Structure 1
């Protein structure tokens, strides 16, 4: 299982997930850079993702929806703020309506995904920062830890 640590920190308004993959940094990067690959691992297995727009450049926008077991759709977006290929990218991540307009009733997180080479492959560190403890608690209550862990743990099988 790639996920080796999960730390929600209400005091610092962060959720940090650490994972290790038996693949080089450049290969792990490709998953995030290619929307068709990202669809295979973004979202837990019972909520597969479909990426509609995917512009992984500073100022770019990524839009997607996850489809639940009963056919319900949950939309989201990333607003890309920084890219340092292949070692990191940063983005704001928010919930959206069917037309990918931001949902102001749900929290937006600032995220930094970083990838570092290790002796056995890549260590990925996913840090999400929220504007308030309430915002972080909202996504924790929605199951972000469980969903993210299930999603990230799919990456190993995809890389194999």
Structure 2
């Protein structure tokens, strides 16, 4: 299993995943840079993603929806803030309405993905920070730890 650690801190409003992949940084980066590859790992297997728009550049936007087992759709977006290819990107991640208008009812996070070469592979650290304790608790209650773990764990097979 690629995920080696999951931690959350209700005092700093953060959720952190650490994972190791048996592929070079450049290969793992491509998973995020290519919308067709991103679809295969963004969301747990039971909720596959469809990427609608994809611009992994500062000021760019990524929009997507995940389709649940009963056919229900869950919409989301990234507002890309910083990119240092192939090792780092930071984005605002939020839930959205069907037309990708940001939802005001669910929390928005500031997310950072950092990829580092280690032992012939890649260590990835995913840090997500919410505005407050309630925002973090909301996504924890929604199952974000389990869902994110199963999503991240799909990357190994894709980059093999």
Q: TM-score range with shorter-chain normalisation?
A: over 0.9
Aligned to 1:51: 51
Aligned to 2:152: 152
Q: Secondary structure at the match of 2:41?
A: coil
Deviation of 1:158 (Å)? 1.2
**CA root-mean-square deviation:** 0.5
Correspondence 1:2 to 2:33: no
Question: What does 1:14-33 align with in structure 2 at a 5 Å threshold?
Answer: 14-33=14-33
Cα distance per residue 1:18-59 (max 9 Å; x no partner):
000000000000000000000011100000000000010000
Question: What does 1:123-142 align with in structure 2 at a 5 Å threshold?
Answer: 123-142=123-142
Correspondence 1:41 to 2:47: no
Distance 2:98 2:50 in 1: 13
Deviation of 1:112 (Å)? 0.6
Distance 1:13 1:136 in 2: 6
Aligned to 1:122: 122
Deviation of 1:120 (Å)? 3.1
Q: Secondary structure at the match of 1:102?
A: coil
Distance 1:120 1:151 in 2: 23
Q: Secondary structure at the match of 1:30?
A: helix
Q: How many residues align?
A: 160
Structure 2 residues not aligned, in runs of 5+: none
Distance 2:153 2:43 in 1: 10
Q: What TM-score comes out, normalization by structure 1 length?
A: 0.99
Deviation of 1:118 (Å)? 0.2
Q: Secondary structure at the match of 1:76?
A: strand
Correspondence 1:69 to 2:37: no
Deviation of 1:157 (Å)? 1.1
Q: Secondary structure at the match of 1:90?
A: strand
